[in-house]
């Protein structure tokens, strides 16, 4: 099976830096790695298994105060989908850009910065992507501890602002 080959190859090459590698369902592999080898794992998957297509990057926040952020990189080719995940500690909100390996990741990484406040190091274009220019620094809408404090704008002519 292609899934077993991917898992075994990753474990052989990266050994203890592969924290978990499982075949979650047909054609699906989930791999958890340390941040130290994230770029190398992605490069290996691209070069050795032809995972050129990054479908998206998903950011996950544990419940407020309960843990770190998890970044999931979803890659696909004609035979399988591989999700590579790594943890970003709340105490040090930094991760490395994968744009040198997968240039199309830039938009996803900019969104991660906007929505979670995680600094993506070496990103080729660090400008905000989805947040307005006047968005208050320190407000990251996809964090569990985020509080929406903006008053709704009332548009003239609408009943009760709705």
Per-residue pLDDT at 157: 76
CATH superfamily, region 2-145: NADH:ubiquinone oxidoreductase Nqo5 subunit (3.30.460.80)
Complete DSSP assignment for 98-134: -TTT-GGGHHHHHHHHHHH--EEET-S--S-SSS-TT
d(CA 58, CA 83): 10
Q: Where are the domains of the chain?
A: 2-145
pLDDT tens, 97-154?
A: 999 999 999 999 999 999 999 999 999 999 989 988 888 888 888 888 777 776 777 7
pLDDT tens, 57-99?
A: 999 997 655 579 999 999 999 999 999 999 999 889 999 999 9
- Using alpha carbons only, give the angle 148, 150, 154 rounded to the nearest 5 degrees: 130
Instruction: Read off the tokens for 135.
Output: 């968005």
Instruction: Read off the tokens for 108.
Output: 């996803």
Q: What is the pTM of this model?
A: 0.87
d(CA 57, CA 12): 25
């Amino acid at each position: 099976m292609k899934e077993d080959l991917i898992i075994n190859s990753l474990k052989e090459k990266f050994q203890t830096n592969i924290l978990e590698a499982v075949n979650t369902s047909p054609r699906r592999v989930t791999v958890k790695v340390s941040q130290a080898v994230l770029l190398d794992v992605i490069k290996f998957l691209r070069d050795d298994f032809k995972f050129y297509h990054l479908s998206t990057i998903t950011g996950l926040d544990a419940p407020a105060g309960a843990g770190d952020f998890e970044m999931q990189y979803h890659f696909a080719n004609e035979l399988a989908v591989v999700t590579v995940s790594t943890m970003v500690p709340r105490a040090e909100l930094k991760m490395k850009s994968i744009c040198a390996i997968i240039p199309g990741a830039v938009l996803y990484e900019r969104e991660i910065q906007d929505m979670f406040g995680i600094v993506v190091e070496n990103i080729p274009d660090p400008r905000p992507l989805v947040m307005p220019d006047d968005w208050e620094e320190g407000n990251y809408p996809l964090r569990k501890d985020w509080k929406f404090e903006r008053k709704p704008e009332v548009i003239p002519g609408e009943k009760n602002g709705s």
